[in-house]
Amino acid sequence: MKQKEIYKCNVCGKVIEILNPAAPETICCGQPMVLMEAQTKDWKLEKHTPKITVEGNKVTVDVGISMGTPHPMTAEHYIMWIELICKDNCYKRQMLSPGMEPKATFVVADTSGLKAREYCNLHGLWISEK
Ligand SMILES: [Fe+2]
């Protein structure tokens, strides 16, 4: 296990992130939780790959908005969070709720080597790089 890995319980749907990777295995509902591999390529019309836009030190990450098809944000299907991973172990997360826009804005000191992750409650974990 490594820091920032996301695990899901395939029985109850619980999702966790590893902060301290000391434990050898994470058990939920009597079985090991499953490591979620971040997807990078959209496989249907709906857009999931996070888009990173940089303006000075302001970094905006959106899901589908800049592609003309904002990801749904309904109670049944929505983006639960957007994360920005930046240099020097900088790590930022915006939690989202149904009804909000599928985007988040962050301010960072260094905009090189950015990565963004987002989590859709139905379609899982997605990542992209700037
Ligand atoms: Fe989705």
The pLDDT value recorded for residue 60 is 98
The pLDDT value recorded for residue 41 is 82
- Calculate the average pLDDT of the chain: 93
Q: Give ion ligand 1 contacts, CB < 5 A.
A: 120, 122-123
**What are the residues whose beta carbons fall under 8 Å from the beta carbon of 17, sequence distance 6 or more?**
4, 5, 6, 7
Sorted by where each begins, the domain ranges of the chain are 6-35, 51-129
Count how many residues are written for the chain.
Answer: 130
Cα–ligand 1 centroid distance for 34 (angstroms): 19
Which CATH number applies to 51-129? 2.60.40.730
Cα–ligand 1 centroid distance for 48 (angstroms): 6
- Could you read off the pLDDT of 31-83 as tens digits, one per residue? 999 999 998 887 666 689 999 999 999 999 999 999 899 999 999 999 999 99
18-22, 28-32, 81-85, 91-95: the lowest-pLDDT one:
18-22
pTM attached to this predicted model: 0.90
Instruction: DSSP for 13-33, please give it.
Output: --EEE-SSTT-S--EETTEEP
- Residue 39 pairs in a beta bridge with 126
The pLDDT value recorded for residue 24 is 79
